[in-house]
Amino acid sequence: MRKQIAAANWKMNLTVQQAGALTDELMNAGLQLGTDQEVILGVPFPYLSLVRGKLGDTPQFYVAAQNCHTQKSGAYTGEVSVDMLQSLEVSHVILGHSERREYFNESPKMLADKVDICLASGLKPVFCCGEPLAIRESGTENAYVEAQLRESLFHLGVEQLTGFIIAYEPIWAIGTGKTATNEQAQQMHAHIRQVMRNQYGEALANSISILYGGSVKAGNAAEIFAQPDVDGGLVGGASLVAVDFTAIIRGLKK
Ligand code: 13P
């Protein structure tokens, strides 16, 4: 089975004390992950080391940064490189979140460069895509998302993309409480997998995990994750509450 993944995106939330307490609660929740299940905690830069330390060598639990720079080092005041992340034993990086595309002007080319430097360093991207409301209302969401994949991923080879993680996050569903319906999620996830199949073949398409993001909650996670092409979720608000996020993790396909 493809990896089934519950990924948290804490965004710019929590104090260090709260981050530590939340991680402790997750680690003490008695979660029993199946062999194909993973949990990824996408935490703010200042807390990466703390959270990584708390996870220790717990299998199938990983820490992600929420961004990285395109260069390995240099005069880029305020930025964080993949080498720094690696030195903290961070394994994943969330890339291309709609908030970074919109508020920080991250272009498809910049994201392609970030994907490249992550892969070259052995860090795994969680590559986000998803359409704004106007695109959904115009009925052109499939072409929009396909272009996002093409522009930032299609320069890569099959080997680099095997087991890759894509997160589909319709912008109209992020933080709004307006989750995509199970059918809308399944339809787009099947489309994304078909786009990858057309470009890279069946084996590659079946190896990638496609996560749904946008108002995933404890009460709706299991039914969304049950859709055949949904391989888990990327969770914002509900990942900040231990009981909610543990319930979401328990909703992953077994
Ligand atoms: P919410 O779960 O708060 O809607 O956020 C989704 C998201 O943007 C995760 O990256």
- Contact between residue 212 and residue 226 where contact means Cβ atoms under 8 Å apart: no
125-173: per-residue pLDDT in tens?
999 999 999 999 999 999 999 999 999 999 999 999 999 999 999 999 9
Rounded to an integer, the average pLDDT of 65-81 is 98
Q: Does 9 sit in the ligand 1 pocket, CB within 6 Å? A: yes
- Per DSSP, the three-state class of 197 is helix
Q: Does 44 sit in the ligand 1 pocket, CB within 6 Å? A: no
User: How high is the pLDDT of residue 225?
Assistant: 98
Q: Which residue has the higher pLDDT, 1 or 89?
A: 89
Specify the ligand 1 atom closest to the Cα of 11: 10
CB neighbour burial string for 205-235, b if at least 16 within 10 angstroms, e if fewer? bebbbbbbbbbbbbebbeebbebebbbbbbb
Atom 5 (ligand 1) nearest CA: 236
Query: In the chain, what are the domain boundaries?
Result: 4-250
CATH node for 4-250: 3.20.20.70
Q: Which tokens in the block code for residue 248?
A: 């979401």
Q: Please state, in angstroms and rounded to a whole number, the distance separating the CA atoms of residues 73 and 82.
A: 9
- Contact between residue 238 and residue 244 where contact means Cβ atoms under 8 Å apart: yes
User: How high is the pLDDT of residue 115?
Assistant: 98
Contacts of 109 (CB under 8 A, 6+ apart): 151, 152
Q: Does 98 sit in the ligand 1 pocket, CB within 6 Å? A: no
pLDDT band at 78 (very low <50, low <70, confident <90, very high): very high
Q: Does 169 sit in the ligand 1 pocket, CB within 6 Å? A: yes
pLDDT band at 210 (very low <50, low <70, confident <90, very high): very high
Q: Please state, in angstroms and rounded to a whole number, the distance separating the CA atoms of residues 101 and 208.
A: 23
1-53: per-residue pLDDT in tens?
899 999 999 999 999 999 999 999 999 999 999 999 999 999 999 999 999 99
pLDDT of 66 higher than 90:
yes
213-242: per-residue pLDDT in tens?
999 999 999 999 999 999 999 999 999 999
Specify the ligand 1 atom closest to the Cα of 97: 10
- Give the Å distance between the CA of 73 and the centre of ligand 1: 30
User: How high is the pLDDT of residue 165?
Assistant: 98
pTM over 0.85: yes
Nearest to 42 by CA among 148, 115, 128, 111: 128
Q: Does 214 sit in the ligand 1 pocket, CB within 6 Å? A: yes
Q: Which tokens in the block code for residue 133?
A: 């409301």
Rounded to an integer, the average pLDDT of 174-183 is 92
User: How high is the pLDDT of residue 12?
Assistant: 98
- Contact between residue 75 and residue 104 where contact means Cβ atoms under 8 Å apart: no
Q: Point out the residues that are catalytic.
A: 97, 169
Contacts of 144 (CB under 8 A, 6+ apart): 131, 135
pLDDT band at 178 (very low <50, low <70, confident <90, very high): confident
Alpha helices in the chain (DSSP H): 16-27, 48-55, 82-87, 98-103, 108-120, 133-138, 141-153, 158-161, 182-200, 202-207, 221-225, 242-250
